[in-house]
Structure 1
Amino acid sequence: MSQKVTQLLKQIQADSLVFYTKLHNLHWHIEGPMFKPIHEATEKIYDEFADVFDDAAERIIQLGDKPYVTLVDILKNAKIKEESATAFQPVQVLKIILDDFEYFMKLFKELSDVADDAKDKVSADYANGILAVLEKEIWMLKTQLK
């Protein structure tokens, strides 16, 4: 087991739960003419990040370590910040999501590289699968924000 791989997986686990919660806030409080498509898009993304949270935790266990199990630990270790505002305009929501997707892109690239170095093909494949999705989502968001 590579300690660095499990540390990165724990970082992903913590950040994905905070992002999941942030996405709910955006989902509930989007306002304006793009309400419906952004409301639906944020729901799709938070469903996907519920899986990221769970998959990271399960991979940590498979590697012989323990995932975070309390919100205290999650919040103490997450680098993604919560969002406390309760009203969002469409462009603002897209920029928030883009910023967090770009952060996750860096994190999953690091996991892919570290897992490759550790000859952990399963963790590398997991990271690469998420990277493919993030890369496409980032491209779409950047195009929409032009």
Structure 2
Amino acid sequence: MSASPTPASLTTEQSPAAPKPWMLWVGRFFALVVVGMLGFSAAMKLSMSPQVLEGMQKSGFAPSTILGIGIAEVASAVLFAIPQTSVLGAILVTGYLGGATATHVRQGDNILFPVLLGVLAWGSLFLRDPRLRALLPLRRLR
């Protein structure tokens, strides 16, 4: 006995609307800024220059941890830059920037930079990925 056909409306999920061209390009620009800033920061850590070592020690990090921090930063940026892994990358970037924010708070420094970079990362994804917009819909007030 064969199963009765089900209506197409029950078998297919409604896919979210594709981003408008301006949203896609602004999102890509934000992503480029995030990846560029993380890449620059990671390159500074991986260079292990005396200035970086001094600054990281001032922040309370042992010199032996700087290479690992730089690698984690590169890995997060790369995963964020690849469209298929960008959500995982954004989660990792958020965790990394949370640690940076905590370090700045502990030192009494300005936290604007790491917080703004995290906002740009998620704003980039929100603008580029219709699935994220469907998950977090913004509604206009009437």
User: Which structure's CA Rg is the greater one?
Assistant: 2
